[in-house]
Amino acid sequence: MSLQGKRILITRAQEQASSLAQLLVKQGAQPLEFPSIEIVPPESWEKLDRAISRLESYTWLIFTSVNGV
């Protein structure tokens, strides 16, 4: 599928949008950066630490974003 002349909206966080936009431009696309989220660390790591301590009880782990890993 050609991206030539296609307008593509990028909603990634600002610090991640530019690299994707550059790749799209190389493919002929016209990217528009419109950050709709901001990636910030959690106020507390307690819930994550608790979940990690119980990894053996899970059957599946699903990572939905590079920011979640």
pLDDT in tens, 22-44: 999 999 999 999 999 999 999 99
Whole-number mean pLDDT of the chain?
93
Burial class (CB in 10 A: 0-12, 13-18, 19+), 20: middle
Mean pLDDT (whole number) for 10-21: 93
For the entire predicted model, the pTM comes to: 0.66
Q: Please indicate, yes or no, if residue 56 is contained in any of the structural domains.
A: no
Q: Is 34 helix (H, G, I), strand (E, B) or coil?
A: coil
Beta strands in 1-69 (DSSP E): 7-10, 30-33
64 assigned to some structural domain: no
Q: Report yes or no on 19 lying in a domain.
A: yes
| pLDDT value at residue 65 | 83
Q: Is residue 4 part of a domain?
A: yes
Confidence of residue 63 (pLDDT cuts 50, 70, 90): confident
Counted domains in the chain: 1
Check pLDDT > 90 for residue 54: yes
